[in-house]
Chains A and B, each alone.
Chain A
């Protein structure tokens, strides 16, 4: 069974450019989470969706960040315009609340570098 899939794995862009990160959750999972990981701050939750609906976006740093989940098998995180301080590893994770267990399964991450 395929795990969480993220693309691209690496992204290098210039300040001011738009960046779009993509995620395909595990089939059958109904919750999806976007995290950002840096050395200074560790893993931070940006936003999460339940049944394709955004539930909590309080972790999104500012209006430059936006996320969508148009269907149960796809989500995007967009940064426009990008800034050097956005450089980090971005993880997508999914979980299922149906079984009464809530562990999240993470993708391999996208390493974003903004120059």
Chain B
């Protein structure tokens, strides 16, 4: 069974204080690892897909990295508008296997 564990559950940062969120996973063959951002009262918003160990992707102050067992979402010099819950999900390889298994998320609060 595919599993995703995110840590910490909640993270409180001062504006400009860089940090990282962790996503540990077990999956029987990884097709892709996905990061989403979810604001209160809204649906998850797609950020990145990572496909293989060593891959990195960046978007503004966010950078996602991937190893064979975990992924990190690095936040550089965060701003209050980066406050949200960040969700990690994995998709297993295999014909017709399109579902995502989600972690419970890390709630990030950036204080001005």
B104 touches A102 (CB 8 A): no
Number of A-B contacts (CB under 8 A): 53
Q: Which residues of B contact A (CB under 8 A)?
A: 31-32, 34, 36, 41-46, 49, 87, 91, 96, 98-105
Looking at chain A's contact residues, the main secondary structure is: strand
**Across the interface, which residues of B come within 8 angstroms of A31, CB to CB?**
98
Q: In the assembled complex, how far is the CB of residue A33 from the closest CB belonging to chain B, in whole angstroms?
A: 7
**Across the interface, which residues of B come within 8 angstroms of A12, CB to CB?**
none
CB-defined A-B contacts under 8 Å, sample of 26: A33-B99, A42-B102, A42-B103, A42-B104, A43-B44, A43-B87, A45-B99, A45-B101, A50-B96, A55-B98, A95-B98, A97-B98, A101-B32, A101-B49, A102-B31, A102-B49, A103-B32, A103-B34, A103-B46, A104-B34, A105-B46, A106-B43, A107-B43, A109-B41, A109-B42, A109-B43
CB-defined interface of A12-55 with B at 8 Å, one 1/0 digit per residue?
00000000000000000001010000000011010010100001
B98 touches A48 (CB 8 A): yes
Q: In the assembled complex, how far is the CB of residue A52 from the closest CB belonging to chain B, in whole angstroms?
A: 14
B99 touches A56 (CB 8 A): yes
Q: How far is the CA of A97 from the CA of B95 in the complex (A)?
A: 11
**Across the interface, which residues of B come within 8 angstroms of A45, CB to CB?**
99-101
**Across the interface, which residues of B come within 8 angstroms of A43, CB to CB?**
44, 87, 102
B46 touches A104 (CB 8 A): yes
Picked from B36, B41, B98, B101, the residue with its CB within 8 Å of the CB of A102 is: B98
**Across the interface, which residues of A come within 8 angstroms of B46, CB to CB?**
103-106
B49 touches A108 (CB 8 A): no
**Across the interface, which residues of A come within 8 angstroms of B44, CB to CB?**
43, 91, 106
Q: How far is the CA of A91 from the CA of B38 in the complex (A)?
A: 12
Q: In the assembled complex, how far is the CB of residue A6 from the closest CB belonging to chain B, in whole angstroms?
A: 8
Q: How far is the CA of A102 from the CA of B102 in the complex (A)?
A: 14
**Across the interface, which residues of A come within 8 angstroms of B98, CB to CB?**
31, 33, 48, 50, 55, 95, 97, 102
Q: In the assembled complex, how far is the CB of residue A48 from the closest CB belonging to chain B, in whole angstroms?
A: 6
**Chain A: which residue is nearest B42 at the CB level?**
A108
